Amino acid sequence: MIEKMKVVHIVTTVPEKADMLTRLRALGIVHFSEKAASDPRYPERFAALSRMTAALQEYPAQPEEALLSDEEFESFFQKLSACLDRKKALQEKRTAAHAAAEKLAEWGRFSPAEVEELRSRGWEVHIYRTDKKTLAALTADPDISFVRLASVGKMPTLATFAPLPDSYSATEFPLPEKGLAELELEQEYCDRGLAECEEFLTQAARHLPSIRDQMLKTQNAAEYSAVSNSSQTQDGLLWLRGYLPAAQVEEFKAAAAQAHWAWALEDPDADDDRVPTKVKYNKITKLMIPVFDILGTVPGYREYDISFWFLGFFTLFFAMIIGDAGYGCLFLLLALVLTLKGKGKSSAVQLLWVLSIATVIWGSLTGTWFGLEQAMEVPLLKKLVIPGFANYPAYFDVSTTAQQNAIMKFCFILGTVQLSLACVMNIRRKLTEKDLSWLADLGWLAAIDALYFVVLYLVIGQQANLPVVAAVVIAGFLLVVLFGGMSPDKSFGQGLKAGLGNAFTVFLNTISAFGNIMSYIRLFAVGMASLAIAQSFNNMAFGFKGPLVVAAVLILLIGHGLNIVMGLLSVVVHGVRLNLLEFSGQLGMEWAGIAYDPFKKQDKLKK
């Protein structure tokens, strides 16, 4: 359930600003959507602390027993910052020296300083690389004197005491500032400095808890600063505007009376798009919290809380996509281990229990146990199978085509039920709001249910009374066109005009509704693909005999492990999609809500 919100205006005097902010943060129930930017020092410090955390995580160390005090941490912070800066500078310097040394190595070991000294004494030394033809020409030229040097890169090299004329093809070697020996000494110096940095960072890693604690303090300080900067003042008064759950109004009133604040409460405007969403979960729907957290989805304040329906359909989709009771048993084992480790109260572990049991049930109904056909030779496992759904239909005198058609039909039924449910939910809400557009949703309900028979006719060849189906689809289309533009704030004529103006869009959406039902066939396709992969690895493994059994075991472990991972990815791609796109789209949900995040001192870092 999405809790009702109230807009709250809080007024106090300017001198009482700090006290009001402190009390509001302690109260921890007021959400501020429109916050100003915090003081720049807080984001900068948080970024610096984040970089420190990332840098130290690669160093194994025993965590400190007690956190550093703020004064101790500041000293540590400065030293760590200096060390990280020094490490970066040394790494860059060493990289540059190493690259220069590699480039210079082919020229041999010489001192650029000695060459410069010769130049200072009047010997204008120039070093060139050239080709054999040019070397021969230079040798024959009586006006040019040079000294032949060792070849560099198989090219003749020479030194002259004056620049060569431009008529000769030769590349002059630019004299480096440092020789090879100096560059090697520089690399050794950098290596010693880096070793010192590594030693310090290894010791510093034990203070990671203190760094994270300071990150939390900085995050809270930034939040305080942002709310403080959001306040407005005039004539000695200061006020803030925020949002408050209706269920906690009395708690706010008591705090306001104690602090002597002036306040006013009102309902959010119909066009207020900054109202936060606070979802109140029950014991069942709270299982979806981990999924919503991973997806980062929040329904809009005026949208539906579909966590109950999401959980039901998601569980079934998960079971059908994984599709193997053997895999479900592995998930059950994992859930049991996590529960025995004391994590049984976690919503994620409880959801794992539900998904595991559902997978075992679906796999049992289809006779799928690690993709092994031999499982159907076990009487107990065979009795659990629904013949029409059996993945090994020959054991039940059912043709493969009939079995596949049964599964596909079940997928289409699921899609039609879920999309029809969305229409019913819209009709129910709009009837209570006296919104005449509920007739448009009735039209969608009729069209979707009729299109279901079209899907069956086209995909599995089931006969349908197409004239009647077409008549229902057309009737539904007309209802959507005539009443889709209605709303409580429009006259009948305005709504009719808006609906007629969207006739072509409704036509396209009707085609999309057909595609939405068809898209549920992905449950069948992915489940069959998973079974085929399991069977392939089983066949590969069972082909090994004797000492090669070890290889067979490895193939089974790797193959089925890969299949499970691919199945989990498919759940995200397909199982979640059917809820977030097809179902939510029919409901008109955009999942563009703002999560309720009250102003309070946090006890853990925000993501």
**Residue range 278-336, pLDDT digits in tens:** 999 999 999 999 999 999 899 999 999 999 999 999 999 999 999 999 999 999 999 99
Q: Rounded mean pLDDT of 414-432?
A: 96
- Domain holding 123, by residue range, is 110-178
Which tokens is 578 given?
């059917």
Match 């197409």 to its residue by tokens.
466
Please indicate, yes or no, if residue 293 is contained in any of the structural domains. no
What single letter denotes the amino acid at residue 17?
K
Burial category of 20 from C-beta neighbours within 10 Å (exposed 0-12, middle 13-18, buried 19 and up)? buried
Question: Which pLDDT does position 97 carry in this prediction?
Answer: 92
Q: Which residues contact 44 (CB under 8 A, 6 or more apart)?
A: none
How many structural domains comprise the chain? 2
Instruction: Tell me the pLDDT band of 153, cut-offs 50, 70 and 90.
Output: confident
Confidence of residue 570 (pLDDT cuts 50, 70, 90): very high
Round the CA-based radius of gyration of the chain to a whole number and report it.
Answer: 37
* Domain membership flag for residue 97: no
Integer Cα distance of 585 and 122 in angstroms: 85
Q: Rounded CA gap, 512 and 491, in Å?
A: 29
Q: Is residue 462 part of a domain?
A: yes
Asked if residue 67 is part of any domain, the answer here is no
What is the model's pLDDT at position 141?
Answer: 85
User: Tens of pLDDT along 90-125?
Assistant: 999 999 999 988 888 877 787 888 888 888 887 888
**155-160, strands of its sheet edge to edge:** 146-152, 155-160, 126-130, 170-172
- Give the 3-state secondary structure of residue 166: coil
Residues 468 and 321 reside in one and the same domain: yes
* Burial of residue 578, with CB atoms counted within 10 A of its CB: 0-12 exposed, 13-18 middle, 19 or more buried: buried
d(CA 347, CA 344) in angstroms, rounded, equals: 8
Q: For residue 186, is it within any domain?
A: no
How confident is the model over 15-34, as a mean pLDDT?
94
Listed residues 149, 178, 207: the one ending a domain: 178
pLDDT for the residue numbered 144: 85
Structure tokens at 315: 């569980």
In the numeric block, the tokens 């999609």 are attached to 577
Nearest to 564 by CA among 531, 590, 540: 531
Looking at the domain assignment, is residue 459 inside a domain? yes
Query: What does the pLDDT average to over 450-466?
Result: 94
**Rounded mean pLDDT, 354-374:** 96
Is residue 165 situated within a structural domain?
A: yes
- Average pLDDT score, the chain: 93
pLDDT for 251 equals: 96
End residue of a domain, out of 158, 178, 198:
178
421 and 559 fall within a common domain:
yes
Q: Is residue 329 part of a domain?
A: yes
Looking at residue 258, what is its pLDDT? 95
Taking 90 as the threshold, does the pLDDT of residue 445 lie above it? yes
Q: What is the DSSP string of 269-304?
A: PTT-TT-EE-B---TTGGGGHHHHHHHT-B--TTS-
Average pLDDT on 17-43 reads: 94
Mean pLDDT, rounded, for 258-276: 94
**Phi, psi torsion values for 369, nearest 5 degrees:** -130, 100
Strands (E) across 21-160 are located at 126-130, 146-152, 155-160
Tens digit of each residue's pLDDT (9 = 90 or more) over 379-407 = 999 999 999 999 999 999 999 999 999 99
Sheet holding 237-245, edge to edge: 232-234, 237-245, 5-13, 262-266
| pLDDT in the model for residue 606 | 82
Contacts of 460 (CB under 8 A, 6+ apart): 405, 408, 409
The residue from 157, 178, 199 where one domain ends is 178
What's the pTM?
Answer: 0.83
Q: What is the pLDDT of residues 172-220, one digit of tens each?
A: 888 888 888 889 999 999 999 999 999 999 999 999 999 999 999 999 9
